[in-house]
Amino acid sequence: DTEVTQTPKHLVMGMTNKKSLKCEQHMGHRAMYWYKQKAKKPPELMFVYSYEKLSINESVPSRFSPECPNSSLLNLHLHALQPEDSALYLCASSTDRENTEAFFGQGTRLTVV
Amino acid sequence: GNSVTQMEGPVTLSEEAFLTINCTYTATGYPSLFWYVQYPGEGLQLLLKATKADDKGSNKGFEATYRKETTSFHLEKGSVQVSDSAVYFCALSFRTGNQFYFGTGTSLTVIP
Interface test with B, best of A58, A101, A103, A108 (most B CBs within 10 A): A101
A42–B104 C-beta distance less than 8 A = yes
CA dist A73 and B24 (Å) reads: 34
Mean predicted lDDT score pLDDT of chain B? 93
pLDDT digit string, tens, across residues A27-70: 999 999 999 999 989 999 999 999 999 998 989 999 999 999 99
CA dist A49 and A66 (Å) reads: 9
Mean predicted lDDT score pLDDT of chain A? 94
Chain A interface includes B45 (CB < 8 A): yes
Nearest to A72 by CA among A89, A49, A55, A54: A49
**For residues B36-61, average pLDDT:** 94
Chain B interface includes A66 (CB < 8 A): no
Using the predicted structure, report yes or no on whether residue B24 has a pLDDT greater than 90. yes
pLDDT digit string, tens, across residues A95-104: 877 778 899 9
pLDDT at residue B23, as a whole number: 97
pLDDT digit string, tens, across residues A80-89: 999 999 999 9
Using the predicted structure, report yes or no on whether residue B17 has a pLDDT greater than 60. yes
pLDDT digit string, tens, across residues B61-73: 999 999 999 999 9
Using the predicted structure, report yes or no on whether residue A91 has a pLDDT greater than 80. yes
pLDDT at residue B2, as a whole number: 85
Chain B interface includes A41 (CB < 8 A): yes
